A and B are shown apart, each in its own frame.
Chain A
Amino acid sequence: MSEDTLSTIFAALADPTRRKILALLASGEKSVSELAEPFDISLPAISRHLRVLERAGLIERRREAQWRILRLDAGPLKEASDYIAAYRRFWEASFDRLDEYLRELQEREDKHESG
């Protein structure tokens, strides 16, 4: 993954409106006005959110007649999810080892004290 790609994805996901837009697009492609409908915010505000999502590579847009149609690109989302999963595995493995190591150290100390 290129530099800051993941950061851009996390930043894009940090906003509830943008996450909701992604959730809407997960059920199929939609036009900008269809997307804006459930929200109590202006069309320009929606457009700003769409630009952030597009920059993160999370959505793609195409033109169909006079309509702009948006679709979800699942690839980057999966990368972000995979990164968190890998990060979690890393820490869980470390914690398991830390647990054992702390036990070992204390046993050694006990032996030292009693012996």
Chain B
Amino acid sequence: MKADETEAGGKNSSAATQMPDRVGETIFYLPSDLEVVMKRIFDAPRELVFKVYTDPQHIPNWWGPRSLTTRVDRMDVRPGGAWRYVQSGEDGTYGFHGEFLEVVPPEKLVYTFEFEGMPGHVVTETVTLEDLDGKTLVTVVSRFDTKEERDGMLSTGMESGARESWDRFEEVLQKVREGLS
């Protein structure tokens, strides 16, 4: 068994072309190390979807689980601008915040996302909006950034080019679950 086995490569390339078949279906996959992708088609024009994403008036109407109430504490939609949403429910209050990195209406939005219950763990979300004959394909790529990575401490592994999909991770988890049961 070689360390650079690439049997997951085929699965990777098929994952890259994964698309929802219809409105209302969410596609979710792990295309590479540290990345999670979600895709969904919305039956609305791109301008409207972008507006709902970037207007503080609209955020409380859709952001987060229905069981929680969302309040926009800060929302400065421009590169370098900060955002902070506060969610409250029966179990307490949760804060989320981040910084907008890229704002390109109506097609792209990049921002960081940090759950205050887990400080220091920053996810970078890239939201892309594509026009599909009046409908909108929304793709959210979430990158689970790491301090080690930012500091370049783990550069050898990241530059090897031998990027397997997270299928391997899933396999490990499966084995672990089997071992525990």
For B158-181 the 0/1 string (1 means CB < 8 A from A) is 101011100011011101100110
Contact A95 B38 (CB under 8 A): yes
A88 within 8 A of B: yes
A47 at the interface (CB under 8 A from B): no
Query: Within 8 Å of chain B (Cβ to Cβ): is A103?
Result: yes
Chain B residues with CB under 8 A of A81:
173
Residues facing A in B24-61 (CB within 8 A) are 24, 26, 28, 30, 33-34, 36, 38, 40, 42-44, 48-49, 52, 58, 61
Q: Nearest chain A CB to B51's CB is how many angstroms away?
A: 9
Complexed CA–CA distance, A101 and B118 (Å): 29
Q: Is the CB of B66 within 8 A of A97?
A: yes
**Does B92 make an interface contact (CB < 8 A)?**
no
Give a binary string over A76-88; 1 marks a CB under 8 Å from any B CB, 0 the rest: 0110010110011
Residues of A within 8 A of B157 (CB): 14-18
Q: How far is the CB of A69 from chain B (nearest CB, A)?
A: 17
Contact of B146 among A7, A84, A93, A103 (CB under 8 A): A7
| Contact of A50 with B by CB under 8 A | no
Q: Is there an interface contact between A91 and B175, defined as CB atoms closer than 8 Å?
A: no
- Chain A residue numbers with a CB within 8 Å of B172 are 19, 22-23, 26, 77
Tell me the minimal C-beta distance from B49 to chain A in angstroms: 7
Chain A nearest CB, measured from B56 CB (Å)? 14
| Interface contact B148-A11, CB-CB below 8 Å | yes
User: How many B residues have CB within 8 A of the partner chain?
Assistant: 59
A106 and B43 alpha carbons, distance in the complex (Å): 10
Q: Is A4 an interface residue (CB 8 A)?
A: yes
Tell me the bound Cα distance from A54 to B28 in angstroms. 30
Query: What is the CA–CA distance of A28 and B140 in the complex, to the nearest angstrom?
Result: 38
Quick one: given A11-B146, A84-B36, A87-B142, are A16 and B64 in contact (CB under 8 Å)? no
Q: Once the chains bind, are A94 and B62 in contact (CB under 8 Å)? A: yes
B65→A90 contact, CB < 8 A: yes
Interface residues of B (CB under 8 A from A): 1-5, 23-24, 26, 28, 30, 33-34, 36, 38, 40, 42-44, 48-49, 52, 58, 61-66, 118-121, 123, 138, 140, 142, 144-149, 153-154, 157-158, 160, 162-164, 168-169, 171-173, 175-176, 179-180
- 6 residue pairs, one from A and one from B, having the closest CB atoms: A15-B157, A26-B175, A11-B146, A102-B44, A3-B120, A7-B146
Interface residues of A (CB under 8 A from B): 1, 3-4, 6-8, 10-11, 13-20, 22-23, 26-27, 38-41, 52, 72, 74, 77-78, 81, 83-84, 87-95, 97-103, 105-106
